[in-house]
Amino acid sequence: MADLVTGGVVGAAFGEAFAILHGTVMNVIGLAIMFRSEFEDLRATLDNLESLVKEIRQSNSAPDLPEKQIERMVKLMKKGAKMVEKCSKIQQCNFISKAYYALKLKELNGAIEKFYKVDLQALIARITLQILARVKNNQNLEVRMRFGLLTLSVSRPPDNIVGLDLPLKELKMELKKKEEQVLLLTALGGCGKTTLVQMLCWDDEIKGIYGDNIYFVKVSKHPNLKVVVQNLFFVNGAYEFQDDQDAIDLLGQHLNQIASNDSNPILMILDDVWPESESTIDKFKFNIPDYKIVVTSRTAFPKFKSTYNLKPLDHEDAMSLFCRSASFKDMSSYFSKEKIEKIVRGCGGLPIALKVIGGSLCLCGKPGWVWQNKLKKWSDEGHSIFKSDKEVLARLKKSLEFSDENSILEEYFMDLGSFPEDQRIPVTALIDMWTEIHEPNQNDVQVTDDLYELTTRNLASLVMTRKDVSAVSNYYSETEDFVTQHDVLRDLAIYLSSQEPITERERLIVDISGDKLPMWMKQEQQLINARLLSISTDESFSSSWRNVQAPKVEALVLNFQTRNYTLPEFLEKMVELKVIIITNYGSSSAELSNFQLLKSLSNLKRIRLEKFSIHSLCNAPIPLRSVKKISIFMCNIGQAFGNSTIQVSDSLQSLMEINIDYCKDLVELPTWLCKVSSLKKLSITNCHKLSALPEGIGKLVNLEVLRFRSCIELSELPKSIRSLHKLHILDISDCLSIIKLPKRIGELHNLKELHMEKCLKLHKQLPPSTVHLKQLKLVVCDEERAKLWEPIKESFSGLNIMVAKEDINLNWLKK
């Protein structure tokens, strides 16, 4: 009876009914505009069922399903095929039939989906038990292995795919390389990774290379390795593995047997691998000649050298996909091309957004004026696609999938929306903000690790224009290391941050155009409770502020473009403020006023200023008693900085770090700087006019890091530097005018790193005291400077002389 029902009914009557329904849907899906979405859903369900039907056909014996259940499903599929055929002929104007049959098609799809997800899975489970009994009675490997692997178990890719022809060609080229066994295909969720590997599996050239030895399996977020391996066999669950290792061992034996009996190589596709299941990839590595593994993941796992990044669609392909999804044969008949292009640009080349927004604009059976109104709304400047279509938001949110243990990454992701669109975000600015408001007990290194994790998930891009070698600390340049974020992802971050009422948001992001303040800012004494406040203004803003109360703000990000910028008066009452980041995105330096408001902020720890003049600030210094770090970037300092006087004991009691970068008119350092005894890090980089250092720099006895990178006019280091007994890192790279190292440099007993690449005038013998640098572990230099160390290299234990490769680029330039 078992063979009769399973082999006869499922293989014949059920198989025939399935084939009729599947074929009917495939024939009409490209023609029936009115029911396109219902047919797409039905096709997807049938595509999933197809592989299970194939597996049942390939099993020689199995316990039977109830015969009535089979007969009912056969009748339903035959009836469904007739209904699909009828729906394809219904006119677009027949709205009553549209509503009725749309519901019937959904019911049909639901019944079939239940059958294959519930009833057939029960059948599979019973098949498992029967075969398992046979396996237990005979543990001989030959018996265990007579159940083969499912070849090419991946569904065929959809028809008329847009924008993946070139990626397919490039992916095949990467796959043909012999160096690496694992090829990682990575991109943000919804960019088409699975579709691309489907195309790869069914590509004639790839099938010509691998033949039938192409295997596909989904791994998912929390995989059960035994189940993953079972899914590769003809009959799911055909074996009871003792443990994960037993499953992998049997799979390896199968693949080795295939390799020994078949001249074609083997290709394994591991689809949808999450960070939590990264270790699963290593389990599938076998020492088999020409055996390749392609992994798809939203995360760019750093350990895999062979990686292909699938990028969003370019504008032409994005337009094509959008118009196809909207069924626009001639878009000019309904809408202007300019309006269409605005919407397409708003989707940022993400297939998810393009398909959902385009599909919702489909003209099927609806008057053109309805869609004209909707299109006008969506194409308005500043209108977010997430406000337009909740499905885009839901599907992109799903692509994020932050786990509880990595919830801090979600906070970081939303914080990126605090910076202006299409602007590079300095890594150091993010470190300053996150260290203080999210990770107060963590150091900068931990925060940068989390930032790197964010970029590996394709939620942002980390651009390091200069690769610094350091064994002691992570060093990020103020100007040369930055983060970028896709516009659509930024919109998503802002939208996710804006779900609560204004007064209750954790982060409040305000974008002001001209003097058009948002309504809530026009209210007197408006109270907000955000921890992060970001305010961006354009060049026409007149610096007119309303009295906003924000007593809980811990991080303030101010982005402006005006020549003269006045800090808002309400800043004075931000009693919890820890970090302030002020950035001028205009074309020239700006004057900043009201800076004295900072003196009342007793919790302020970090200040970052970019691209403005600080003459007045130095002439009238204000007490910053709690500030630990000051970063000054691309500012006009002038002589006022060098001549200024500050009562350090009063004003800078806690200062531990100073960073000055690309301040082109800095000629000398102020003498008061040498009195900041609490200072641990001093970095003066790319200040090309700095020619001399104060002798008093030796008084900075707590200094651990000292950098003068790319100060090309600096001719020597002061003799007093020998007093910096806690110094760990000394960096004089690209100081073209330095002729010699200090005579008594050997007294820097705790120096671990010395960076001196491209010190072109430093070609004399190193000072004899250099041999006393017993803690020195790393010297980074160019080939010429490396020769200076050869005579004394044997005096050190474990010293690494690293010759840095020349890295010339203009990536640091602002777009």
For residue 381, count other CB atoms closer than 10 A to its CB: 6
Looking at the structure, do residues 371 and 356 belong to the same domain, yes or no? yes
**Structural domain total, the chain:** 5
Distance CA 399, CA 422 (A): 22
Distance CA 614, CA 646 (A): 14
Q: Is residue 128 part of a domain?
A: yes
108 vs 699, more confident: 699
| Residue of 766, 729, 719 lying closest to 751 (CA atoms) | 729
Distance CA 518, CA 500 (A): 16
CATH code of the domain in which 234 resides:
3.40.50.300
For residue 183, count other CB atoms closer than 10 A to its CB: 21
β-strands 461-464, 481-484 pairing? antiparallel
235 neighbors 124 (Cβ within 8 angstroms)? yes
Written as six digits, the tokens of 378 are 């969506």
Q: Is residue 649 part of a domain?
A: no
Q: Which residues pair with 527 in a beta bridge?
A: 549
pLDDT tier for residue 106 given thresholds of 50, 70 and 90: confident
pLDDT tier for residue 714 given thresholds of 50, 70 and 90: very high
pLDDT tier for residue 792 given thresholds of 50, 70 and 90: very high
The conformation of residue 14, written as its DSSP 8-state character, comes to I
pLDDT tier for residue 142 given thresholds of 50, 70 and 90: very low
Distance CA 668, CA 308 (A): 48
The residue written with tokens 């596709």 in the block is 269
777 neighbors 755 (Cβ within 8 angstroms)? no
Looking at the structure, do residues 233 and 344 belong to the same domain, yes or no? no
Average pLDDT (185-212) is: 87
User: What percent of the chain lies above the pLDDT cut of 70?
Assistant: 74
Average pLDDT (105-122) is: 74
Domain termination residue (choose one: 284, 309, 334): 309
pLDDT tier for residue 636 given thresholds of 50, 70 and 90: confident
pLDDT tier for residue 621 given thresholds of 50, 70 and 90: low
Q: Is residue 158 part of a domain?
A: no
Average pLDDT (471-477) is: 55
Looking at the structure, do residues 129 and 182 belong to the same domain, yes or no? no
Looking at the structure, do residues 188 and 74 belong to the same domain, yes or no? no
Looking at the structure, do residues 428 and 447 belong to the same domain, yes or no? yes
Looking at the structure, do residues 239 and 323 belong to the same domain, yes or no? no
Looking at the structure, do residues 368 and 342 belong to the same domain, yes or no? yes
712 vs 32, more confident: 712
Looking at the structure, do residues 333 and 467 belong to the same domain, yes or no? no
pLDDT tier for residue 236 given thresholds of 50, 70 and 90: very low
The predicted-structure confidence for 453-470, as pLDDT tens digits, reads as follows: 787 676 777 776 655 555
Structural domain containing residue 260: 165-309
Q: Which residues pair with 657 in a beta bridge?
A: 629, 681
Q: Is residue 593 part of a domain?
A: no
pLDDT, the chain, mean: 78
Please state the pTM of the whole predicted model: 0.61
pLDDT at 113: 76
Domain termination residue (choose one: 334, 361, 393): 393
Looking at the structure, do residues 295 and 388 belong to the same domain, yes or no? no
DSSP string, 334-400: TS-HHHHHHHHHHHTT-HHHHHHHHHHT--TTS-HHHHHHHHHHHHSTT--HHHH-HHHHHHHHHHH
Average pLDDT (438-443) is: 72
Average pLDDT (439-447) is: 70
Looking at the structure, do residues 757 and 786 belong to the same domain, yes or no? yes
Q: Is residue 272 part of a domain?
A: yes
Looking at the structure, do residues 184 and 123 belong to the same domain, yes or no? no
Q: Is residue 421 part of a domain?
A: yes
Q: Is residue 305 part of a domain?
A: yes
Q: Is residue 98 part of a domain?
A: yes
The predicted-structure confidence for 57-92, as pLDDT tens digits, reads as follows: 544 433 455 566 677 788 888 888 888 888 877 776
Distance CA 250, CA 284 (A): 11
Distance CA 205, CA 208 (A): 5
Distance CA 461, CA 605 (A): 27
pLDDT at 382: 47
pLDDT at 476: 61
| Residue of 215, 221, 209, 258 lying closest to 234 (CA atoms) | 215
Looking at the structure, do residues 299 and 416 belong to the same domain, yes or no? no
Distance CA 245, CA 223 (A): 14
E-assigned strand segments in 605-673: 606-610, 612-613, 629-633, 657-661
DSSP string, 383-405: --HHHH-HHHHHHHHHHH---GG
